[in-house]
Structure 1
Amino acid sequence: MEEPWVFDVTVPTSQMAIDTKTFTIDKAITLNNGEKVTLEKVIASPVSTLIYFDLTQASESTRFKLVTASGEKVPLREGYGSRDIGETSYGRYTPLDLEKETYLLVPINEDGEEIGPQVILNLD
C-alpha cells in the first residue's frame, strides 16, 4: 500500500452534545509530599473522557493514572500540566461509562510511581 487510507466520517455535533456529560468533582487531595491537587471536573463524551485538575499547589510533573475497579489501566491519550494560575491541567483518556462503572484516579509522578491517595470516580 503506497498511501494510507483516509476516511471522512461525519459526526453530528448535536448528538455529541446530547451524549456528553459533565460531572463536577471539586475535590482537593493532599499528595504524599504535602502538595495539593484539586480535581475539578470530568467531561465524558462518546470519543474521550477528560479529567480537569489544578496543579498550582503541586509539581507540573504530577499526573493521573486511571484504572478500573478490577485494576485494568485506562490508556491516557494526552495530557497537559501547568502550575500557572489560570491554567487548567487535564488528562484525556479513552471513552468511559462513568455512570455504570467505577474507576480509580491515582496521582503519579513522571516515573509512574504513586504519590498520593486514590480517588474513586463513581458518578451514578
Structure 2
Amino acid sequence: MLSGDQRLSEDEPKNNRLCKKWFLIALSILVVSSVIIVNLSFVASFFNTSHEPDFSTYKTTVGQTIENNFGRFTLNEVMVDNNQILLNASFEPVEDLDFDYQIFFFPQVLVNGQDYTVRNGGQTIKQTESNYTIYNSVKMRDLPQNETLKLDIRYNDWNWEKPIDQPWGFKIDASQKQLLKDRIIIPVNKTMSLSDGQVIKVEKVVSTPISTTIYFQSTQSLYESISFKILNDSGKTWRYDSSYTLNEEHTMWGMRFDALYVKEKKYQLIPVDAQDKELGPAIQISGK
C-alpha cells in the first residue's frame, strides 16, 4: 500500500451524471495497491433508501458495532459490484478525540482469505459533532465467482499514518448471487492501433446494474490511462468515471463507468483523448 502522501484521485468525468454531484480531489498517479481520497457521492447514493432504482438485492446488511478507545464504529452495509466492494459505516469518536471529515479510513479487505485490492477509496461525511458516515469503494482484481464471499474487513489505521491500537474488524458473508445473475459479460478481444502510436487490446466489457467496466491491455506501460467513451444508438454519450491499473507493469487496466448498465442492443466503444478527439475506430458492442 502507498503512504498517505501518495494518495490518488479518480479521473474527473466530463459530463453530468445521475447521482454524482461533485467530483474527486488529490493527485493523479495510478499505481497497483493504491489509495484514493475521493468524494463518493455516487457510492453514497446506492446506500440511500430513497434512491431509485432499488439496489437492496445487491446489499448485505451488517449492523455490527465495535467499540475501542477511539470510539464506536458500526459497519452498516456491504455491497459487492463487479470486482468492487462498497462499504457503508458510521463512526462515533470519543469526546476528546481530534477527528474531523478530513480524516479518512482505508480498510484492508480480504476476500476468502486473499487480498485482491488494487485501489482503495474513501470519504468521511460529518453528520453531527459526534457522528460521521464513512464510505469506501475498494476496487479488486478478479474476484472469486462464489455466490457468497467471506469478507474480512479490517480498519487498522486512518490516513495510512495513525495506527488504531485495537482495530475494528468485521468478518461477514456477503452475497453476490443476484449480481452474478444480472451481470453482462461482453467478450471483445480486439486490438487497435491508436493515432498517437499506442497499441491496445480491449479484452471485455463487464456491466452490472451498478457500473460498467472496460478491461484492456496496452503494449507499453501507461502512467495515465487511455480514455474511452460509450455511445448508444440514440446518441447518448457516457465518459468514464475512473480508471485503475491492474498490474505493476501498468499494462493492464480497468476503466469504470458509474450508473451505466448496457442493456440496449447497440453501443459504440470509442477511444478518445482529453479533448474528446477520437484516437481510433469505434468498437461495436451489444447489451443484454
Alignment TM class, shorter chain as reference? 0.7 to 0.9
Which residue of structure 1 lines up, in the alignment, with residue 193 of structure 2? 30
Deviations 1:68-109 (A, max 9, x none): 1232112422223589537521221232234x3211111111
% identity of equivalent residues = 25
SS of aligned partner of 1:11: helix
| Structure 1 residue 39 corresponds to structure 2 residue 80 | no
How does the TM-score come out when normalised to structure 1? Answer: 0.75
Moved more, 11-20 or 73-82: 73-82
- C-alpha separation in 2, matches of 1:80 and 1:56: 16
Q: Find the counterpart in structure 2 of residue 48 from structure 1.
A: 211
Counterpart of 1:7 in structure 2 is: 48
Q: Distance in 2 between matches of 1:120 and 1:104?
A: 5
1:27 match: secondary structure: strand
Find the residue that maps to 2:241 and give its secondary structure: strand
1:16 partner SS: helix
Structure 2 CA distance, aligned partners of 1:30 and 1:53? 13
Q: Structure 2 CA distance, aligned partners of 1:22 and 1:71?
A: 23
Taking the aligned partners of 1:69 and 1:92, their CA distance within structure 2 comes to 20
Distance apart, 1:67 and its partner CA: 1.1
Q: Following the alignment from structure 1 to structure 2, what is the Cα–Cα distance between the partners of residues 34 and 76?
A: 22
Give 3-state SS (helix, strand or coil) of 2:178's partner: helix
**How far apart in 2 are the matches of 1:40 and 1:104?**
15
Q: Distance in 1 between matches of 2:247 and 2:272?
A: 16
Alignment of 1:1-124 (within 5 A): 7=48, 10-12=56-58, 13-57=176-220, 60-80=224-244, 85=249, 87-93=251-257, 94-98=259-263, 100-122=264-286
SS at match of 2:277: coil
Q: Which moved more, 1:81-90 or 1:111-120?
A: 81-90
Q: Which has the larger radius of gyration?
A: 2
CA contact (8 A) 2:228 2:272 kept: yes
**Counterpart amino acid of residue 65 in structure 1:** K
**Structure 1 CA distance for aligned equivalents of residues 48 and 286 of structure 2:** 35
Structure 1 pair 61/88, CA: closer, same or farther in 2 (3 Å)? closer
Distance 1:74 1:101, change over 3 A: farther
Give secondary structure in 1 for the equivalent of 2:57: coil
In terms of fraction of residues, the more strand-rich structure is 2
Deviant stretches of 4+, over 4 Å: 81-84
Deviation sequence 1:35-84 (CA, Å, 0-9, x none): 21110111111111111111234753421111112321124222235895
Contact 1:67 1:74 survives alignment (8 Å): yes
